[in-house]
Structure 1
Amino acid sequence: MFQGTFALFNRALNVDFRLMRTHLFRFLFAVMILFFLMSAHVTSRAIGASGLVLFSQIIYLNFVVILMAGISIFATAITEEKEEQTMGLLLMAGVNPISLMLGKSMPRLVTALLLLSVQFPFTLLSITLGGVTLAQVIAAYSALAAFLFCLANLGLFCSVVCARSRSASTLVVIALAFFFLGFPFLEWVFNVIQSENWITKGALLANSIETVFDWRSQISILSQINSILATGFSDSPWGIPFWGHIVFGFILFVFSCMLFNRFALIDVGLSPGRGVISKKKSHTFSPSRTWDNALMWKDFYFLNGGVGMTLIKFVCYGIALLALCIFIGFSSNQWDLDLIGYTVFWSMFLVLLIEISLISARIFQVEIQWNTLVSTAMLPQSMARIAYSKLSGCLLSLIPACCYLMFGSLFIIDEIFSALDEILPEPTFWMMCVEVFFFWHLTAFLSTYIKWGALPLAFVLMWVGNTTFFIMVTIFSIGGGIRQEVFEVLSLFFSLGLLACIVGSHFLIKERLVLLASK
């Protein structure tokens, strides 16, 4: 049993440790902590507990990166073998399911734990800056390690039951969204029902539901981090939240073992998945006749689901927005059109940012993964036109979110225009816009180099860049406050530099695609 596990584990670690990007990623984390430390040291004169600020930044950064790793790295442990049609060969070689799952998931978990261990000695420096104790540092990293173990097994479970990596990542996102957002919403609904006396307080059903909500609140990593970062923390790092994540991780691993034989040999096929596209002649879920721009048509239907997925998004977004408006209305006891407009507008604005980020991560990834870039490059079109055609097809999938965004803006049109009059002259606003566009270009560029994890890596790089900028701003403010003119000049130079990088990324992506197509 363990022979196959050690063989896969040893091979995965050897391959991982020989990659330059692995060591660069760890070095990047160390550099980020150094930036945080410099910022905390510079601001220590103005902030009382600068060590707590430094420690909080590091912990929340780790939390976000762990979430992204669970979506992009852990969720592909088994699906990548299914997509490469090597699952049957591994089973024929005598590797049993448990050895296979351990050999595929453990190296990724060990790599992530090593990334946490790199930060631990540097994080101890926050104790010397004040506001943090050794018990808080140990408790925080123990909580992150337990959450990482649980999330790794959640990704493994989704990777076992799903046929493709994209489906597994989507299932992980749904599970995390239900845990962090769905449970609070259900708890609010339950409290409303109890206040209306639809369920008798103290009844068996009410007590059971309250127990479930209390249990979820106790093991929530966010609640645990907030408790650890609070002043006067003295609890044990090995409490109920820690063991709750460990036990739940083992349960997910057991379920993965039980379902492995049922889903291991799913016929994935040698071509990219069609998603909701139907092979039957249905007007909604089957592709229409090819458009004049065939690449635009292909990416709209086969990468983003076409008309069928667009209708599904319309329905799902509508239901989610309705529930959110009802929730906010009950919570604030306000039922006016302005509140509905703000809720719909900002919710869809966030959804648009997320959708475009996901598009930028996978727009070229499918072509590279399935080796179709060579045949695509043989078309009588330039590589730049091919890339822009694919982008146009992907942007059509944003129609549902854009429609709801415009619908929400109709209720607050006056407020939007008045806000634009105030923020348009501000250089900070334009710097944020340029940063968002650069983030999308950076994600697309990184997706041509790495198979998975372009989105979290781009997020980390952007975090480092922003931290460097604010450290520069803080250094200028040491002498008694920074002048508004100096801040505007720094923002202008930073924005111009990002604009130059955006223009350069177009040429770099084109050259990279040409190079990949020539291999």
Structure 2
Amino acid sequence: MLTKAVALLSQTFRVDVRQVRTHLLRGGIALGVLWLLSIIHFDSSWRSSPGLQFCEGLTFSTMVMLTLLGAFYFPSVITEEKEEHTLGLLRMAGVSSLTLLLGKSVARVGVVLLLIAVSLPYWWLCVTLGGVTTTQVAAVAVSLAAHLALMSQIGTLCSVYFTTTGRACVASMITIFLLLFGPLIAEELLREFHLITRANSPFPPLYRNMVPYQLGVIVRPGYTGGLMSTQVWTNFAAAFVLLGLSWLLLDRVNTYDQVPGRESRLLAWMKSRLPDPIRRRRAPRRAPVGPVGRAILWKDFRQFGGGYRWWMLRALGYFVMGFLFSLDGWGSYWQRIGVGLIVTAFWAGIAEIVFHAGHLLYREVKNQTWDSLRMLPMSMGSIVRRKILAAGWALVPTFVALLLGMMMEERLFREIFREFDRHPVVFGCVTIYCIMATVLAVYLTCYFSLRVNPWLGTVIAAGLFGFITATPFMCCFGLMDLDGNETAGIVFLCAGFLDLGIAAGFHLPISATLNGETNA
């Protein structure tokens, strides 16, 4: 068993070191750390403990990266073998379930550790800069290691149960969100309805054993705790239990007669529990009669955008979030609802745009339907434009919720017009920059989704986009101390056109992939 596990481990490392994107990602992490260090350096004149501030930035950025990897990287541990139909070959070669899990899951943990190893020297630089002790840095490392173990096993368990990487990523993302933020949200809601008080709340033991709370305690000045905390023990214990559960489920849920359509049968069983008027058979959906472009738009809107059913579900979600914001005690009733709609629709809109950018072309290439679309009497540009239009039509509920929120909170309009009258050049250039940056984000997500899987590609694109987007703001308001004059507007304008040029550069390999000149 050990020999086979080592063989899988070495194979994972060999594939990793030979991929160019791995080294580019390490270089991006190193640049991000240097960028954070430069911010601390230029702000050190009014910071009392630059080492502590630098340690906080490194700690929480690493925590976010490990959490995202748990949601988008580890869920493909077993599903990639299912999708490539090689899981049966591994089992025929005598690879046991435990060997497969150890060889694949532990190998990816090692890849992640090598990935973040480029930032290791900077952790000890925090001690040199002052404000942080060696014990605090070691406690942060142990806490993050326990968090990585837990995130890896959550992703592995989802990868064992679900049949595709997309479903495993969605399940892992929901699980991690509920684990990290569910107790806090539940506590706030129950306290708002006066069902519990702070004294008798059962939720503090839940979120205090999670890494965000523990890291917040460790990076405080004067930390006197040790290396091993309750969070470390509970996270390692939970990871061990999840590994055992994955081992028990791997053979049970991945036989040949269970892999195809297991989730479909689960949904069919759930629908069978509904009343007859609700679960009655619907009329079959047919594409509209007319030009081919309308059929493409119809297909993408219903297949990738969810159709009108998801319109109503998203509208219901925005209604619930507006209701929850209305329970707060500040401002007027409509102002609270407006702010809730703005905040929710803004972040949900970003997530939806990234989702469509990562999946719109990837699914066609993966399912080998793109060549069939190219045979239609339409140019490739017309096909892509129809698909983008279908994604935009699916985003209508988000845009409507954002517009309603801004109409309810009219002070935002007044602030926008006031800023435009005060600095028209800067405001116009920042607007152009935001549009260009959004175009770049879409191109980055689309490119990396075609090169890797769309979920991991989204994480890589988000990191690059965040670095590229934040740099002009840092140059204008941090390093160059321009404070909003017209020179800052020129910087933003130049950065916007630079983003557009980078997006045009990514357009070439995407076009080559869609034309069949390169493999995705």
TM normalised by structure 1 equals 0.86
How big is the shift at 1:468?
A: 4.3
Name the amino acid aligned to 1:461: L
- SS of structure 2 residue aligned to 1:332: coil
- SS of structure 2 residue aligned to 1:236: coil
Q: Which residue of 2 aligns with 1:345?
A: 342
Alignment of structure 1 residues 163-178 onto 2, 5 Å: 163-178=163-178
Q: Greater shift after overlay, 481-490 or 39-48?
A: 481-490
Whether the aligned pair in 1 keeps the contact of 2:437 and 2:469 (CA below 8 Å) is no
Q: Which residue of 1 aligns with 2:57?
A: 57
User: Which of 435, 441, 466 in structure 2 is aligned with 1:463?
Assistant: 466
Matched, 1:476 2:474: no
How big is the shift at 1:78?
A: 1.2
Q: Which residue of 2 aligns with 1:384?
A: 381
How big is the shift at 1:201?
A: 11
Query: Closer, same or farther in 2 for the Cα pair 1:336/1:296, shift >3 Å?
Result: same
Whether the aligned pair in 1 keeps the contact of 2:374 and 2:380 (CA below 8 Å) is yes
- SS of structure 1 residue aligned to 2:336: helix
How big is the shift at 1:518?
A: 8.1
Q: Which residue of 1 aligns with 2:296?
A: 295
Name the amino acid aligned to 2:242: L
Query: Closer, same or farther in 2 for the Cα pair 1:487/1:512, shift >3 Å?
Result: same
How big is the shift at 1:224?
A: 1.4
Matched, 1:217 2:207: yes
Whether the aligned pair in 1 keeps the contact of 2:149 and 2:236 (CA below 8 Å) is yes
Q: Which residue of 2 aligns with 1:72?
A: 72
How big is the shift at 1:434?
A: 3.1
- Return 5+ residue gaps in structure 1 as ranges: none
Query: Closer, same or farther in 2 for the Cα pair 1:8/1:200, shift >3 Å?
Result: closer
Q: CA RMSD in A?
A: 3.1
How big is the shift at 1:433?
A: 4.0
Cα distance in 1 between the residues matched to 2:220 and 2:402: 38
Alignment of structure 1 residues 320-331 onto 2, 5 Å: 320-322=321-323, 324-326=324-326, 329=327, 331=328
How big is the shift at 1:287?
A: 3.4
Whether the aligned pair in 2 keeps the contact of 1:274 and 1:305 (CA below 8 Å) is no
Q: Greater shift after overlay, 163-172 or 421-430?
A: 421-430
Q: Which residue of 2 aligns with 1:403?
A: 400
How big is the shift at 1:175?
A: 1.1
Question: In the comparison of the two structures, how many residue pairs are matched?
Answer: 498
Query: Closer, same or farther in 2 for the Cα pair 1:308/1:517, shift >3 Å?
Result: farther
Whether the aligned pair in 1 keeps the contact of 2:191 and 2:197 (CA below 8 Å) is no
Whether the aligned pair in 2 keeps the contact of 1:79 and 1:164 (CA below 8 Å) is yes
Q: Which residue of 1 aligns with 2:137?
A: 137
Query: Closer, same or farther in 2 for the Cα pair 1:332/1:518, shift >3 Å?
Result: closer
Question: 1:354-396 CA distances to partner (integer Å, 9 max, x unpaired)?
Answer: 1111111122221232333333333332222222222222222
How big is the shift at 1:97?
A: 1.4
Name the amino acid aligned to 1:222: P
Q: Which residue of 2 aligns with 1:500?
A: 501
Whether the aligned pair in 2 keeps the contact of 1:276 and 1:308 (CA below 8 Å) is no
Matched, 1:262 2:264: no
How big is the shift at 1:261?
A: 2.3
Alignment of structure 1 residues 71-220 onto 2, 5 Å: 71-192=71-192, 195=194, 210-211=201-202, 213-220=203-210
- SS of structure 1 residue aligned to 2:131: coil
Matched, 1:310 2:311: yes
How big is the shift at 1:7?
A: 2.3
- SS of structure 1 residue aligned to 2:493: helix
How big is the shift at 1:111?
A: 0.6
Cα distance in 2 between the residues matched to 1:404 and 1:387: 27
Query: Closer, same or farther in 2 for the Cα pair 1:332/1:181, shift >3 Å?
Result: farther
Question: 1:237-295 CA distances to partner (integer Å, 9 max, x unpaired)?
Answer: 2111111111111111122122222321365559xx999999x99448x5332463232
Query: Closer, same or farther in 2 for the Cα pair 1:482/1:418, shift >3 Å?
Result: closer
Cα distance in 2 between the residues matched to 1:375 and 1:200: 61
How big is the shift at 1:335?
A: 5.6
Q: Which residue of 2 aligns with 1:364?
A: 361
Cα distance in 2 between the residues matched to 1:295 and 1:156: 36
Cα distance in 2 between the residues matched to 1:243 and 1:450: 34
Q: Which residue of 1 aligns with 2:275?
A: none
Whether the aligned pair in 2 keeps the contact of 1:83 and 1:268 (CA below 8 Å) is no
How big is the shift at 1:470?
A: 5.1
- Return 5+ residue gaps in structure 2 as ranges: 272-278
Q: Which residue of 1 aligns with 2:416?
A: 420
Query: Closer, same or farther in 2 for the Cα pair 1:187/1:296, shift >3 Å?
Result: same
Whether the aligned pair in 1 keeps the contact of 2:207 and 2:213 (CA below 8 Å) is yes
